[in-house]
Amino acid sequence: MKKHIVKDILNYILTENDIIKPDLINASNYKDANEVINYLKKGGKISTVSSERQCEYCGELAGSINYYTDGTWVWPEWLSHYVIKHQIKLPFDFVEQIINNNYDGELVQKIVNQELEIQFYEE
Ligand SMILES: [Zn+2]
């Protein structure tokens, strides 16, 4: 099986204690949260779990911990909550990817169909 390398957004937004880095909150580096949300929704789902994350900032259920990918990045479903409610700052190259709409449907389908094994990018 071929390996495909992706970047895990959690490496950029979580502290060692599994909370969102406080300095990312209310610091969005994109103009339109809806554009980000629409992009996140397009991602291919690559895991199926039932557990959910509760938001450490407002106490609401932020969403499932299922992972989605666009072929370059992987992110959990709950990321949308932090975009809408907390204007989370995202990695610059991820925002660029969204603005340029670099969604590779063909590649994502291969990952979802498990024709490609994903490997996480190590910094
Ligand atoms: Zn919240």
- Residue 93: its pLDDT value, please? 94
- For residue 112, the CA-to-ligand 1 centroid distance in Å is 29
For 70-101, the pLDDT digits (tens) are 999 999 999 999 999 999 999 999 999 999 99
- For residue 83, the CA-to-ligand 1 centroid distance in Å is 9
- For residue 86, the CA-to-ligand 1 centroid distance in Å is 6
- Residue 81: its pLDDT value, please? 98
Does the pTM of the predicted model rise above 0.85?
Answer: yes
- For residue 48, the CA-to-ligand 1 centroid distance in Å is 22
- Residue 55: its pLDDT value, please? 98
For 101-113, the pLDDT digits (tens) are 999 999 999 999 9
- Residue 84: its pLDDT value, please? 97
- For residue 85, the CA-to-ligand 1 centroid distance in Å is 6
- Residue 2: its pLDDT value, please? 84
- For residue 104, the CA-to-ligand 1 centroid distance in Å is 30
- For residue 6, the CA-to-ligand 1 centroid distance in Å is 26
- For residue 120, the CA-to-ligand 1 centroid distance in Å is 27
**Alpha-carbon gap, residue 123 to 111, rounded angstroms:** 22
**Alpha-carbon gap, residue 9 to 99, rounded angstroms:** 17
Strand pairing class (116-120; 2-8): parallel
**Alpha-carbon gap, residue 11 to 72, rounded angstroms:** 14
For 5-52, the pLDDT digits (tens) are 999 999 999 999 999 999 999 999 999 999 999 999 999 999 888 899
Tokens read off for 87: 């204007």
